[in-house]
């Protein structure tokens, strides 16, 4: 199926400088938001404490709910609406433990009296501080080591540098592992950021250009997605980590398709300027990329609109990831390959 005419010739590479500026601006805005908010807003899974979801029979006021929470003595609690207003559902978050015997029934009774509206359902989730710390660390490590393994795969598949890329990944991954094992005092986030920077420097120095382009594109996608969540003050939960790992797979798959065509066209015409080969390859895969992205996006939009509050944030993260991932495959991963050529066209 040809969604776009096969002879299309859009000059993607010609505007790569403007695309780089746009990407840099989005990444900087995301980074500034994360710095201002002192990192992402973690959910109970990663922060610890209690998350209580309460559903009322009819509409109620936030002030009345807060009054009931104060009567229960829940410290450091915040209340916000959960889902659409017609659901009459609210989320109560507290950094303190609330798991006492008969707590749910006491909560139902107290909130029913303070609001004057019966409570239909109560759901309580609680995570201890040590468990939340372990989950947060494992989530960061899962993303970090997935990127390292992808460097090996990309370098091996497109440049047949399996051994070189594996040695590079081991030289970075093993020290990170031992630093964390012996708990040398440095923060996990700082260690991972430094390790990623070092891996990108190695990719450039060792001329692992395909791996460099793919990893920069993935870091670009993840940073912007997490940045948008930070700007909108949306919690990062286990569901969002699952969405981020899914975005890595989706974006990488799109990048690999373009890379495959670039490699084929380079072999067909070894004397052609690399910028023209890359631009032709992007245009030749544009129909497939656009069709796949649009169909996937339509499904995710349906989940976002109709899937309910439970899957709402996951679908939102996927929407961002699909759009940014498709963009980065064209305007980030592919143009980086030109960095090894002295071309201006």
Quick one: 49-127 is in which CATH superfamily?
ACT domain (3.30.70.260)
**Other C-beta atoms lying within 10 Å of the C-beta of residue 109:** 14
206-227 core/surface letters (b: 16 or more CB in 10 A; e: else): bebbbbbbbbbbbbbbbbbbbb
Q: List, in sequence order, every residue forming a beta bridge with 123; answer none if it has no partner.
A: 53
DSSP state of 55: E
Alpha-carbon distance of 168 to 215, in angstroms, equals: 14
**Token pair 């970075």: residue:** 172
> Where does the chain hold its CATH 3.30.70.260 domain(s)?
49-127
> Where does the chain hold its CATH 1.20.1640.10 domain(s)?
13-43+131-340
Q: 13-43+131-340, what's its fold?
A: Multidrug efflux transporter AcrB transmembrane fold (1.20.1640)
pLDDT in tens, the chain (345 residues): 556 776 788 999 999 999 999 999 999 999 999 999 988 988 888 887 788 889 998 999 988 998 888 888 777 788 888 877 888 899 888 876 666 667 788 889 999 999 999 998 888 887 776 777 788 888 888 899 999 999 999 999 999 999 999 999 999 999 888 877 776 545 778 888 889 999 999 999 998 999 999 999 999 999 999 999 999 999 898 899 999 999 999 999 999 999 999 999 999 988 899 999 999 999 999 988 888 999 999 999 999 988 877 788 999 999 999 999 999 999 999 999 987 654 444
- Among residues 228, 259, 225, 231, the alpha carbon closest in space to that of 243 is found at 225
The torsion defined by the Cα of 338, 246, 227 and 11, in degrees rounded to 10, comes to 30
Question: Which pTM value belongs to this model?
Answer: 0.87
- Among residues 281, 208, 219, the alpha carbon closest in space to that of 252 is found at 219
Q: Where are the alpha helices (DSSP H) in the chain?
A: 16-36, 44-47, 62-72, 103-115, 129-159, 162-181, 188-205, 209-231, 238-268, 274-284, 286-306, 309-328
């Amino acid at each position: 199926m040809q969604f776009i005419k096969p002879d299309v010739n859009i000059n993607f590479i010609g505007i790569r400088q403007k695309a780089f500026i746009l990407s840099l601006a989005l990444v900087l805005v995301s980074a500034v938001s994360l710095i201002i908010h002192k990192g992402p807003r973690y959910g109970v899974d990663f922060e610890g404490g209690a998350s209580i979801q309460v559903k009322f029979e009819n509409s109620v006021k936030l002030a009345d709910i807060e009054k009931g929470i104060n009567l229960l003595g829940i410290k450091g609690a915040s209340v916000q609406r959960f889902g659409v207003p017609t659901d009459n559902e609210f989320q109560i978050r507290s950094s303190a433990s609330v798991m006492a015997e008969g707590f749910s029934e006491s909560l139902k009774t107290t909130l029913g009296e303070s609001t004057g509206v019966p409570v239909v359902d109560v759901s309580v989730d609680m995570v201890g501080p040590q468990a939340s710390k372990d989950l947060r660390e494992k989530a960061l490590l899962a993303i970090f080591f997935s990127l390292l393994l992808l460097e090996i795969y990309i370098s091996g598949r497109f440049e047949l540098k399996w051994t070189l890329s594996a040695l590079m990944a081991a030289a970075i991954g093993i020290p990170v592992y031992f630093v964390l094992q012996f708990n040398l005092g440095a923060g996990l986030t700082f260690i991972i950021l430094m390790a990623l920077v070092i891996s990108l420097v190695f990719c450039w120095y060792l001329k692992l250009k395909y791996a460099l382009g793919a990893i920069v594109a993935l870091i670009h996608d993840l940073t912007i997605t997490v940045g948008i969540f930070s700007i909108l003050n949306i919690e990062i939960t286990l569901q969002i980590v699952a969405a981020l790992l899914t975005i890595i797979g989706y974006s990488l798959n799109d990048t690999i398709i373009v890379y495959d065509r670039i490699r084929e066209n380079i072999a067909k015409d070894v004397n052609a300027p690399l910028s023209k080969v890359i631009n032709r390859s992007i245009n030749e895969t544009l129909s497939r990329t656009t069709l796949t992205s649009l169909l996937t996006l339509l499904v995710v939009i349906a989940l976002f609109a109709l899937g309910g509050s439970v899957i709402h944030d996951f679908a939102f993260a996927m929407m961002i990831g699909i759009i940014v991932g498709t963009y980065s495959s064209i305007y980030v991963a592919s143009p980086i390959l030109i960095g090894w050529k002295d071309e201006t066209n």
